Structure 1
Amino acid sequence: MAALPQHQFSGPVTVFQEVRLPETATPAGYSALIGAYGLAVPLPRTLFATGEHHRITERDGWRIMTLRHAPHPTLEGHLTFALKYEGLDLAILKRLFQATGPAPIEALVRASPTGSYARRIWFLFEWLTGIRLDLPDADAGRYVPVVDPELQWAAPETTASRYRVKDNLPGTPEFCPLVFRTRALDEFIGMDLPQRAQAIVADVPRDVLARTAAFLLLKDSRSSYAIEGERPPHDRMQRWGRAIGEAGRQPIDRDELLRLQRIVLGDGRFVRLGFRQEGGFVGEHDRDNRIPLPDHISARHEDLPSLIDGMVGFDRGPAQGLDAVIAAAVLAFGFVYIHPFEDGNGRIHRYLIHHVLAMRGFNPPGVVFPVSTAILDEIDEYRRVLESYSQRLLPLIEWEPTPQFNVRVLNDTGDFYRFFDATPHAEFLYACVRRTIERDLPDETAFRQRYDQFRQQVDAFIDMPERLTDLLFRFLQQNGGRLSNRAREREFAALTDAEAEHIETIYREVFGNG
């Protein structure tokens, strides 16, 4: 039997892949494998190495472990280190397995047939590549989870007896972003936000809650268009609001995504409706408006069928076993990176957040959290989160401009959209959901109740049509609780000084000084 090719692992370095280390250290785990096998993949958000110090340090995007953590400088050593300390990076693992081929993995498993890491590596090779290794089924060894639930969020386990592992991957080989366990996410989940939302609306009269829900729905629709820099006609905004209000009732599939795009855009005369049949990017053009200057390049149109099928499969399967907000972040941000449409992607991306939350019963029945409003208020952070992956992805995409001033991707990039670290996205979305529950929902219900008090007290001493009462309130609201001279002289000239003063007093008693 011919000897397997040997790959040279790096010694101590100060720079890795143009990224400077905080101190001289030896790449370990994924960073070592990327270097040794020349893998063109997005670098992990945190890279690992081993140094000379006797304590673990973390800064500048590196975690420097101690010498006692140093792995054996082999494929098995660095793979084991990665699974033990870094969790799963499926994009790196798939490119690595394509580079190694089956033989080294078969040799690794034969050398340690009962080893938990060897059996996880074996499972991952077959799951990611679709190639069955020339190995008999495992007959010994304790069952172990594929995803370490102490490091990353996992789906409910199913038994994979061939490898004696528990398959808890939160996705399929067509779509499986992963989220790391962090203190922030643990704290968000510990807040039990759905219960908080239920408690807020429990004592709110049904008619007030209905009006609150209608306002929040329109507010979210308006904000979602504003994020895209658009001010559509009121009827289109209302139609989109109604669609958001029905989120979660229909499963996501290709037809549903196409239906949503038609609602979002309304007029398809100047935009090609349907899934892209060419490349796509987010960004600008040069001064001559010819050469694309992309901030993000979308998935190749050839990869869209499998990627969309992967998202559909995730939504109907693994998403049901994940925390609702984490599942919403994975699906929604996965969709926006893929960017399957020529236009409408951003608004459908945010619709998918509502879809998952409603489907899982996270929000009270009939109430939509205005997540888009929270995103609009934190637009810079939203863009930073989007760029947290786009900026690492962009250098790996080979492309050329087309005669239509678009981009044509030249290399195989599909896996970069199937597998990415969605941790920043989940943390950001949880912060937005928390804000809507702790601020927007109680503020709006309280406002509606106070407005009802104001109107009832005004109606108790003066007959006035409802539309005039609404106008009266808006004037008071805009002018710090006082009627302006203009309002007194025109729309409300019929009020006596005493009546006007009494109305102002009612407003201040109900709403305070503005």
Structure 2
Amino acid sequence: MQNDQNHQFSGPVRIFHELRLPEAAQPAGYAALIDAYDLAVPLPLTLCAIGQKHQVFEAEGWRLYTPRHAPKATLQGHLTFALKYEGLDLTVLKKLFEKLPAREFETMIKAQPSSAYMRRVWFLYEWLLDKPLDLPNAKSGTYAKVVDPKLQWAIEGKTSTRHRVHNNLPGDRAFCPMVRRTKKIDQFVAAEFDAEARAIIGKISNSILARTAAFLLLKDSKSSYAIEGEAPPHDRIQRWGKAIGEAGRHPLDEDEFLRLQRLVLGKDPRFVQLGWRTEGGFVGEHEMDTRLPLPEHISAKPEDLTDLMGGLIAFDQEFADGLDPVIAAAILAFGFVYIHPFEDGNGRVHRYLIHHILSARGYNPPGMVFPVSAAILDQIETYRRVLESHSARILPYIEWRTTAHMNVEVTNQTVDLYRYFDATPHAEFLFACVQRTITHDLPQEAAFLTKYDQFKSRIEAHTEMPASTVDLLFNFLKQNNGKLSNRARQKEFAALTDEEVRAFEVIYGEIFDG
């Protein structure tokens, strides 16, 4: 194995791993480490380099720092730069720790034992590899936070006296996605959408509120199936809606996941294996002529599922409470869908997990479910791009072959690609969905039901008719821009007089078009 001094860190470049830079610049931090040590890992969503300008700027997926930010062209220099300006990329760090001999890190840490950055590197090495370095316990140095909370979201955590650091990682070794601090997420958190939702429902009558909650629950259930391109019988939609309404009441464990999969698949899952997959899996199509797989996302290997799902369950039970509920929901739900542990039913359980976290943390008003799936359905292309923000990046690092059943079998080690992803785009997207449900869906549905009650009351005061007939009348008027069509007047409402029809059209217009 080569020593650090023999590795060549790149000078200024215009193209880096097929990516263009905004200007000629020298890769720094994780970009430099990936390049110098030939690490087979997905590139970070934002790469860093040292440019020529005297102010920091971002463009085209790069953040360019000034010449005064340039690190020393050494392992320690670029590691320190990464921790200081980029935060933790656990996939890159683990691959780096695995590739270099332990003595390089021992020598580096011994040279500066009181350095907060070196003690963080030391802790991360032992935490990620579950293997100690040949170093005595730290004797000096102020306790440093493993995760810089100015750069990434973290929990309170606990101290490690051996390294004199505070372990505030939002997960354990088996599952620990990270979310970066961004201006957008900070603004979303500060908006306190949960408090806004409670303020909105405080102005709604109990009867309207109960019906609003029921409608939004049904809307979410329908939308979750629609996202999968399915139109199941109404009883399955209602059954899944009931499950969503009870989200957050049961702790997550393997039995709970199996219960959810049974609910998704219905009463007759004869053609689907229940529980964790025992074969590979992928999301995508098959080539039309050969039936060869054309994967857009490849699921975690079946032999890794017990460990990954154990980490995901531990995240829910031990770490989620330390994060903002929406951020925790994004980590849990999208982490699950990337792992894809089931043969079928992953998508709906993935969206259920959003409700699980929000409800368990009391983010939803009591008895109310935010129709997040409806917001996702209305932004389905954005949702797909968010999913691809990780799945497309890891695909080149997954080696696979086609099985006899035209499935995929992964042939290399891939477990870390599902443990340590950057969930920042997922958190931003989920916040936007929650915002939409609170500022649009909730008040809009409550306002509609209030108007409908006014319409029903005025119709019944004018002409006595059953509630079902009033509902049919409303739907005909709505479909025809407030006018009762000739067909409806000749069939379903042939008994109405012209005067009644005109009166009903006026009532509809005053309430819904006024």
CA distance in 1 between counterparts of 2:213 and 2:57 reads 48
Report the secondary structure of 1:27's partner residue.
strand
| Alignment-derived partner of residue 271 in structure 1 | 272
CA distance in 1 between counterparts of 2:53 and 2:218 reads 57
How many matched pairs?
A: 512
1:400 lines up with 2:401 in the alignment: yes
CA distance in 1 between counterparts of 2:511 and 2:63 reads 56
| Pairing 1:119-138 to 2, within 5 Å after superposition | 119-138=119-138
| Alignment-derived partner of residue 440 in structure 1 | 441
CA distance in 2 between counterparts of 1:360 and 1:345 reads 23
Alignment-mate amino acid for residue 365 of structure 2: P
1:166 lines up with 2:166 in the alignment: yes
Report the secondary structure of 2:387's partner residue.
helix
| Alignment-derived partner of residue 477 in structure 1 | 478
Contact 1:156 1:321 in 2 (8 A): yes
For each residue in 1:381-423, what CA deviation from the matched residue of structure 2 results, as whole angstroms up to 9, or x when unmatched? 1111111111111111111111110111111110010001111
1:5 deviates by 7.6
User: Which consecutive unaligned segments of at least 5 residues does structure 2 have?
Assistant: none
1:58 lines up with 2:45 in the alignment: no
Alignment-mate amino acid for residue 239 of structure 2: R
1:115 lines up with 2:115 in the alignment: yes
CA 1:63–1:203: 2 relative to 1, 3 Å: closer
| Alignment-derived partner of residue 454 in structure 1 | 455
- Worse-matched range after superposition: 206-215 or 53-62: 53-62
| Pairing 1:140-289 to 2, within 5 Å after superposition | 140-266=140-266, 267-289=268-290
For each residue in 1:298-342, what CA deviation from the matched residue of structure 2 results, as whole angstroms up to 9, or x when unmatched? 111111111101110101111101001011011111111111111
| Alignment-derived partner of residue 505 in structure 1 | 506
CA distance in 1 between counterparts of 2:61 and 2:191 reads 29
1:20 deviates by 2.6
1:373 deviates by 0.6
CA distance in 2 between counterparts of 1:259 and 1:6 reads 55
1:491 lines up with 2:492 in the alignment: yes
Report the secondary structure of 2:217's partner residue.
helix
| Alignment-derived partner of residue 326 in structure 2 | 325
| Pairing 1:337-352 to 2, within 5 Å after superposition | 337-352=338-353
CA distance in 2 between counterparts of 1:198 and 1:110 reads 54
Alignment-mate amino acid for residue 52 of structure 1: Q
| Alignment-derived partner of residue 40 in structure 1 | 40
1:238 deviates by 0.7
CA distance in 2 between counterparts of 1:43 and 1:423 reads 15
CA 1:3–1:414: 2 relative to 1, 3 Å: closer
Alignment-mate amino acid for residue 79 of structure 2: L
For each residue in 1:85-122, what CA deviation from the matched residue of structure 2 results, as whole angstroms up to 9, or x when unmatched? 11100000011111113211111111111100011001
1:24 deviates by 2.3
Alignment-mate amino acid for residue 31 of structure 2: S
CA distance in 2 between counterparts of 1:142 and 1:129 reads 24
CA distance in 2 between counterparts of 1:457 and 1:51 reads 70
For each residue in 1:422-459, what CA deviation from the matched residue of structure 2 results, as whole angstroms up to 9, or x when unmatched? 11110011001000000000000111111111111222
1:270 deviates by 2.1
CA distance in 2 between counterparts of 1:389 and 1:475 reads 46
| Alignment-derived partner of residue 389 in structure 2 | 388
Alignment-mate amino acid for residue 269 of structure 1: R
CA 1:3–1:256: 2 relative to 1, 3 Å: closer
Report the secondary structure of 2:223's partner residue.
helix
1:274 deviates by 1.8
- Worse-matched range after superposition: 462-471 or 215-224: 462-471
CA distance in 2 between counterparts of 1:396 and 1:92 reads 13
CA distance in 1 between counterparts of 2:144 and 2:4 reads 29
Alignment-mate amino acid for residue 9 of structure 1: F
1:253 deviates by 1.2
1:144 deviates by 1.3
CA distance in 1 between counterparts of 2:171 and 2:477 reads 54
What's the Cα RMSD here? 1.5
Alignment-mate amino acid for residue 184 of structure 1: K
Contact 2:482 2:509 in 1 (8 A): yes
Report the secondary structure of 1:317's partner residue.
helix
Alignment-mate amino acid for residue 432 of structure 1: C
1:139 deviates by 1.6
1:480 deviates by 1.4
Query: What is the percentage of aligned positions where both structures have the same residue?
Result: 62
Report the secondary structure of 1:114's partner residue.
coil
For each residue in 1:226-260, what CA deviation from the matched residue of structure 2 results, as whole angstroms up to 9, or x when unmatched? 11111011111110111111111011111111111
1:4 deviates by 7.5
- Worse-matched range after superposition: 404-413 or 24-33: 24-33
Contact 2:4 2:75 in 1 (8 A): no
For each residue in 1:162-188, what CA deviation from the matched residue of structure 2 results, as whole angstroms up to 9, or x when unmatched? 111111111111111001111111111
TM-score by length of 2: 0.97
Contact 1:145 1:157 in 2 (8 A): no
CA distance in 2 between counterparts of 1:5 and 1:217 reads 61
CA distance in 1 between counterparts of 2:495 and 2:391 reads 61
Alignment-mate amino acid for residue 110 of structure 1: K
1:365 lines up with 2:366 in the alignment: yes
- Worse-matched range after superposition: 78-87 or 287-296: 287-296
Alignment-mate amino acid for residue 324 of structure 2: D
- Worse-matched range after superposition: 369-378 or 499-508: 499-508
1:11 deviates by 2.5
